[in-house]
Amino acid sequence: MSQQRALAHARVRPTGLGCMNVTHGYSSFPSRDDAVGLFRAALDAGVDHFDTATLYGHGASEELLGEALGNRRDEIFLASKCGLRRTEEGQTVVDGEPASIKRQAEASLRRLGTDVIDLYYLHRLDRRVPIEDSVGALAELVDEGKIRSIGLSEVSVATLERAEAVHHIAAVQNEYSLATRNPELGMLDTCRDNGTTFVAFSPLSRAMLAGTLERPWELPAADIRSFMPRFTAENYPGNMLLVDALRPIADGHGITLAQLALAWVHAHGDHVVSIPGTADRGHLLENSGADDVVLDDAAVAACSEIVNQATISGARYTDGQQSTIDSEDFPG
């Protein structure tokens, strides 16, 4: 059994499963049966931390996960998110109003087929609503027994500290990978000091660090990578040269590039876990294998030197996407 790490009231394996890829943000989505089969394959493989959201597929990801779990709900740590939703017109809306948070939580519980969600995140900071008010609503859900713990996603240290004054924040979920190093601007340290688990999303930089994604600028327009700066025809080939330079390190450890990138994330503290997403069963098992990989300081440093904020080409988000982000950023 792989070493487990603390997450809220539980202990989980370092590598969980992000459930966005089957319904939202990417392309070539699996059928309903295949998506449910993927989640059940994850259960059978011992994955014990599943992360979904109201936003993903307008609730479809939660529905599929609820169907897959069935009577196996107690086998896993279940996380979902509120505060970022799609309207009937297809617009994405940041909504941290207390009443909206409570409505979304009730809907999440129904779709997931459960009485309680282990960890419920505010998906994005709503700049119109004081974080104290949003966290206050989540705290009421804890008191009501509908959620067990509170998380925040894509927030800054300052926002975390304000939230912590209202209720303990069990987890912060921000993007973190070799290519996206923003949490090193204070969040990793603050989470460790606060007893908060840091949950890294996109730890493979949306498949870039797995070395298997080719010509992302030719992906369907609905695929978010088709217009993200790092994946353009101008930037991506150079970024892949950096990824190729990691291969000797992965080969030397007898692991894949994806496992190397995940192990690098996990090496940044026992309070760090990751939730790579995938719609492919082979990649699911490959990612899960990273739990058994331990990198020494020299390997971590070597990877860090090759791929980092200074060597990667292109911002992680467009200006429009970045406008919804509260987390620390490097100077432009």
Mean pLDDT lowest among 7-16, 80-89, 106-115, 144-153 = 80-89
Helices (H), the chain: 32-44, 60-69, 98-112, 131-143, 157-164, 187-194, 236-253, 257-266, 281-288, 297-306, 319-322
Q: Which two structure tokens, joined as six digits, stand for 327?
A: 């987390």
Q: What is the pLDDT of residue 86?
A: 82
Q: Are 146 and 76 a contacting pair, CB within 8 Å?
A: no
pLDDT confidence bin for 322, thresholds 50/70/90: confident
Give every CB contact of residue 329 below 8 A, 6+ residues apart in sequence: 182, 185, 322
- pLDDT over 90 at 59, yes or no: yes
Positive or negative torsion for Cα 144, 146, 148, 153: negative
Active site residue 236: no
Using pLDDT thresholds of 50, 70 and 90, give the confidence band for residue 136: very high
Gap between the Cα atoms of 231 and 329, Å rounded? 19
**With contact defined as beta carbons under 8 Å apart, do 55 and 85 qualify?**
yes
What pLDDT is recorded for position 268?
A: 98
Domains in the chain: boundaries: 5-212+263-291
pLDDT beyond 90 at 318: no
Grouping H, G, I as helix, E, B as strand and the rest as coil, residue 3 is coil
Residue 178 has pLDDT above 80, yes or no: yes
Instruction: Please compute the mean of the pLDDT values over residues 299-308 and round it to a whole number.
Output: 98
In sequence order, what are the beta bridge partners of 6? 11
Examine the pLDDT at 160 and tell me if it is beyond 90: yes
CA–CA dist 17, 287 (Å, integer) = 9
Q: Quick one: pLDDT at residue 2?
A: 58
Domain 5-212+263-291's class? alpha beta
- What is the reported pLDDT for 1? 41
Catalytic residue among 56, 120, 121, 176: 56
Whole-model pTM over 0.85: yes
- Among residues of the chain, what percentage have pLDDT more than 70? 99
**CA–CA dist 139, 125 (Å, integer):** 16
**What number is the average pLDDT over the span 36-57?**
97
Label residue 30 left, alpha or beta by phi (over 0 means left) and psi (-120 to 50 means alpha). Answer: beta
In this predicted structure, what is the pLDDT of residue 331? 85
Whether 88 has a pLDDT exceeding 80, the answer reads: no
213-241 pLDDT per residue, tens? 999 999 999 999 999 999 999 999 999 99
